[in-house]
Amino acid sequence: MRQDPKLTLVEILTSALTYRFRSAEVLGGWALCTVNDSTGELLIVSDWGNWSCLWNPKHLDSPSLTHFIADRRSYDYLASKLMRGEFRVLDADATITKWRRRLTERRLREGRAALRSSQEALTAYLARDIWESLGSLFQDESNEALFIEHALQIEGISWIAGDALWEDIEHRYSPEYRVLVDFLLPAVCDACAQTVSDQATPAS
Protein backbone atom coordinates (compact mmCIF):
# COMPACT_ATOMS: atom_id res chain seq x y z
CA MET A 1 0.00 0.00 0.00
CA ARG A 2 1.44 3.33 -1.09
CA GLN A 3 2.03 5.80 1.69
CA ASP A 4 1.96 9.52 0.91
CA PRO A 5 5.10 11.36 2.00
CA LYS A 6 4.84 13.53 5.06
CA LEU A 7 6.49 16.94 4.95
CA THR A 8 8.16 18.27 8.05
CA LEU A 9 8.77 22.00 8.49
CA VAL A 10 12.52 22.50 8.80
CA GLU A 11 12.99 26.24 8.39
CA ILE A 12 11.20 29.54 7.93
CA LEU A 13 13.07 31.96 5.68
CA THR A 14 12.44 35.69 5.70
CA SER A 15 15.08 36.84 3.23
CA ALA A 16 12.80 37.28 0.22
CA LEU A 17 11.85 40.63 -1.29
CA THR A 18 8.78 40.98 -3.46
CA TYR A 19 8.69 43.78 -6.00
CA ARG A 20 5.22 44.88 -7.02
CA PHE A 21 4.71 46.47 -10.44
CA ARG A 22 1.78 47.98 -12.28
CA SER A 23 1.44 49.16 -15.87
CA ALA A 24 0.07 52.62 -16.55
CA GLU A 25 -0.51 51.72 -20.21
CA VAL A 26 -2.17 48.30 -19.86
CA LEU A 27 -5.46 48.07 -17.98
CA GLY A 28 -5.03 45.55 -15.17
CA GLY A 29 -1.38 44.96 -16.03
CA TRP A 30 0.49 43.93 -12.88
CA ALA A 31 3.35 41.75 -11.68
CA LEU A 32 4.71 40.43 -8.39
CA CYS A 33 8.37 39.46 -8.63
CA THR A 34 9.95 37.74 -5.63
CA VAL A 35 13.70 37.35 -5.20
CA ASN A 36 14.86 35.05 -2.41
CA ASP A 37 18.58 35.37 -1.73
CA SER A 38 18.66 32.44 0.70
CA THR A 39 17.16 29.85 -1.63
CA GLY A 40 18.11 31.33 -5.01
CA GLU A 41 14.51 31.58 -6.17
CA LEU A 42 13.14 34.03 -8.70
CA LEU A 43 9.35 33.89 -8.90
CA ILE A 44 7.22 36.01 -11.21
CA VAL A 45 3.44 36.04 -10.94
CA SER A 46 1.80 38.43 -13.35
CA ASP A 47 -1.12 39.40 -15.52
CA TRP A 48 0.78 37.91 -18.48
CA GLY A 49 1.85 34.60 -16.97
CA ASN A 50 3.76 32.92 -14.15
CA TRP A 51 7.41 31.83 -14.21
CA SER A 52 10.00 30.61 -11.74
CA CYS A 53 13.59 29.44 -11.57
CA LEU A 54 15.93 28.21 -8.85
CA TRP A 55 19.68 28.81 -8.78
CA ASN A 56 22.20 27.49 -6.27
CA PRO A 57 23.27 30.67 -4.42
CA LYS A 58 26.75 29.18 -3.88
CA HIS A 59 27.37 28.90 -7.62
CA LEU A 60 26.23 32.32 -8.78
CA ASP A 61 29.69 33.90 -8.55
CA SER A 62 27.88 36.86 -7.06
CA PRO A 63 27.18 38.04 -3.48
CA SER A 64 23.50 37.17 -3.83
CA LEU A 65 20.74 36.43 -6.33
CA THR A 66 19.73 40.09 -6.07
CA HIS A 67 23.23 41.13 -7.13
CA PHE A 68 23.25 38.49 -9.86
CA ILE A 69 19.98 39.77 -11.36
CA ALA A 70 21.04 43.40 -10.97
CA ASP A 71 24.21 42.72 -12.99
CA ARG A 72 22.36 41.33 -16.03
CA ARG A 73 22.98 43.42 -19.15
CA SER A 74 20.95 41.08 -21.34
CA TYR A 75 17.62 39.53 -20.41
CA ASP A 76 17.87 36.51 -22.74
CA TYR A 77 19.62 34.35 -20.17
CA LEU A 78 17.07 34.99 -17.43
CA ALA A 79 14.18 34.52 -19.85
CA SER A 80 15.55 31.20 -21.12
CA LYS A 81 15.97 29.94 -17.54
CA LEU A 82 12.47 31.04 -16.51
CA MET A 83 10.93 29.44 -19.61
CA ARG A 84 13.22 26.39 -19.45
CA GLY A 85 14.39 26.95 -23.01
CA GLU A 86 10.93 26.81 -24.58
CA PHE A 87 10.82 30.30 -26.04
CA ARG A 88 10.63 29.83 -29.82
CA VAL A 89 7.44 28.94 -31.65
CA LEU A 90 6.45 28.26 -35.24
CA ASP A 91 6.21 31.32 -37.47
CA ALA A 92 3.70 30.02 -39.99
CA ASP A 93 3.46 33.28 -41.89
CA ALA A 94 7.23 33.58 -42.42
CA THR A 95 7.53 29.90 -43.36
CA ILE A 96 4.70 29.96 -45.91
CA THR A 97 5.92 33.26 -47.37
CA LYS A 98 9.42 31.77 -47.80
CA TRP A 99 8.08 28.63 -49.47
CA ARG A 100 5.81 30.59 -51.79
CA ARG A 101 8.73 32.80 -52.82
CA ARG A 102 10.77 29.69 -53.64
CA LEU A 103 7.82 28.26 -55.54
CA THR A 104 7.57 31.39 -57.66
CA GLU A 105 11.31 31.39 -58.36
CA ARG A 106 11.33 27.67 -59.16
CA ARG A 107 8.34 27.99 -61.45
CA LEU A 108 10.07 30.83 -63.32
CA ARG A 109 13.21 28.74 -63.80
CA GLU A 110 11.23 25.68 -64.87
CA GLY A 111 9.23 27.76 -67.33
CA ARG A 112 12.39 29.10 -68.98
CA ALA A 113 13.89 25.63 -69.12
CA ALA A 114 10.74 24.30 -70.74
CA LEU A 115 11.08 26.82 -73.58
CA ARG A 116 14.53 25.39 -74.33
CA SER A 117 13.94 21.71 -73.77
CA SER A 118 10.18 21.34 -74.34
CA GLN A 119 10.05 19.62 -70.92
CA GLU A 120 8.37 21.06 -67.87
CA ALA A 121 8.81 19.37 -64.48
CA LEU A 122 6.94 21.94 -62.40
CA THR A 123 3.80 22.68 -64.37
CA ALA A 124 1.73 25.81 -63.91
CA TYR A 125 -1.13 23.62 -62.66
CA LEU A 126 1.06 21.92 -60.01
CA ALA A 127 2.57 25.23 -58.92
CA ARG A 128 -0.88 26.73 -58.46
CA ASP A 129 -2.03 23.67 -56.49
CA ILE A 130 1.03 23.88 -54.20
CA TRP A 131 0.43 27.60 -53.66
CA GLU A 132 -3.16 27.02 -52.58
CA SER A 133 -2.24 24.03 -50.40
CA LEU A 134 0.37 26.12 -48.58
CA GLY A 135 -2.39 28.57 -47.66
CA SER A 136 -4.29 25.79 -45.88
CA LEU A 137 -1.35 25.38 -43.48
CA PHE A 138 -2.31 28.59 -41.68
CA GLN A 139 -4.93 26.57 -39.77
CA ASP A 140 -2.06 24.72 -38.06
CA GLU A 141 -0.05 27.80 -37.06
CA SER A 142 -0.48 27.04 -33.35
CA ASN A 143 0.67 23.41 -33.68
CA GLU A 144 4.09 22.87 -35.28
CA ALA A 145 3.75 19.08 -35.41
CA LEU A 146 0.50 19.27 -37.38
CA PHE A 147 1.92 22.02 -39.57
CA ILE A 148 4.82 19.75 -40.58
CA GLU A 149 2.58 16.70 -40.96
CA HIS A 150 0.20 18.50 -43.33
CA ALA A 151 3.06 20.16 -45.22
CA LEU A 152 4.56 16.74 -45.94
CA GLN A 153 1.25 15.68 -47.47
CA ILE A 154 1.35 18.44 -50.11
CA GLU A 155 2.14 16.98 -53.52
CA GLY A 156 5.26 18.61 -54.89
CA ILE A 157 6.43 20.08 -51.56
CA SER A 158 9.91 18.76 -52.35
CA TRP A 159 10.21 21.41 -55.06
CA ILE A 160 10.43 24.16 -52.45
CA ALA A 161 11.55 22.50 -49.20
CA GLY A 162 14.51 20.28 -48.49
CA ASP A 163 14.39 16.61 -47.59
CA ALA A 164 14.45 17.56 -43.89
CA LEU A 165 11.42 19.83 -44.13
CA TRP A 166 11.21 20.22 -40.35
CA GLU A 167 14.61 21.94 -40.45
CA ASP A 168 13.29 24.47 -42.97
CA ILE A 169 10.66 25.87 -40.59
CA GLU A 170 10.90 29.52 -39.52
CA HIS A 171 10.47 30.37 -35.85
CA ARG A 172 9.86 33.49 -33.79
CA TYR A 173 10.03 34.34 -30.13
CA SER A 174 6.89 33.43 -28.23
CA PRO A 175 4.64 36.20 -26.83
CA GLU A 176 5.58 35.07 -23.30
CA TYR A 177 9.27 35.47 -24.09
CA ARG A 178 8.69 38.95 -25.48
CA VAL A 179 6.76 39.94 -22.34
CA LEU A 180 9.63 38.77 -20.16
CA VAL A 181 12.42 40.37 -22.19
CA ASP A 182 10.66 43.59 -23.14
CA PHE A 183 8.73 44.41 -19.96
CA LEU A 184 9.06 42.25 -16.87
CA LEU A 185 12.76 41.46 -16.64
CA PRO A 186 13.97 45.02 -17.29
CA ALA A 187 11.77 46.15 -14.40
CA VAL A 188 13.01 43.36 -12.11
CA CYS A 189 16.66 43.99 -12.95
CA ASP A 190 16.29 47.72 -12.34
CA ALA A 191 14.55 47.07 -9.02
CA CYS A 192 17.31 44.69 -7.91
CA ALA A 193 19.94 47.21 -8.96
CA GLN A 194 18.21 49.83 -6.84
CA THR A 195 18.13 47.43 -3.87
CA VAL A 196 21.87 46.74 -4.24
CA SER A 197 22.52 50.49 -4.43
CA ASP A 198 20.36 51.18 -1.36
CA GLN A 199 22.11 48.46 0.63
CA ALA A 200 25.52 49.89 -0.26
CA THR A 201 24.60 53.43 0.76
CA PRO A 202 25.28 54.07 4.46
CA ALA A 203 22.30 55.29 6.44
CA SER A 204 22.56 58.99 7.27
Q: Identify the pLDDT of residue 27.
A: 67
Q: Identify the pLDDT of residue 82.
A: 94
Q: Identify the pLDDT of residue 204.
A: 57
Distance, in Å, from the CA atom of 41 to the CA atom of 33, rounded to the nearest integer, reads 10
Global pTM reads 0.74
Mean of pLDDT values over 121-125 = 80
Using a pLDDT cut of 90, give the percent of the chain over it: 58
Write out the E strands in 27-170.
Answer: 30-36, 41-46, 50-54, 88-90
Q: Identify the pLDDT of residue 26.
A: 67
Q: Tens digit of pLDDT for each residue in 97-114?
A: 999 999 999 888 876 555
Distance, in Å, from the CA atom of 23 to the CA atom of 39, rounded to the nearest integer, reads 29
Distance, in Å, from the CA atom of 149 to the CA atom of 6, rounded to the nearest integer, reads 46
Residue type, 5: P
Q: Tens digit of pLDDT for each residue in 156-187?
A: 888 888 778 888 999 999 989 999 999 999 99
In order of 134, 147, 150, 162, 195, the CA distances from 154 in angstroms are 8, 11, 7, 13, 57
pLDDT band at 118 (very low <50, low <70, confident <90, very high): very low
Q: Identify the pLDDT of residue 115.
A: 46
Q: Tens digit of pLDDT for each residue in 47-96?
A: 999 999 999 999 999 999 999 999 998 899 999 999 987 788 999 999 99
Q: Tens digit of pLDDT for each residue in 7-42?
A: 888 888 888 999 999 987 766 689 999 999 999 999
Q: Identify the pLDDT of residue 8.
A: 87
Mean of all residue pLDDT scores within the chain: 87
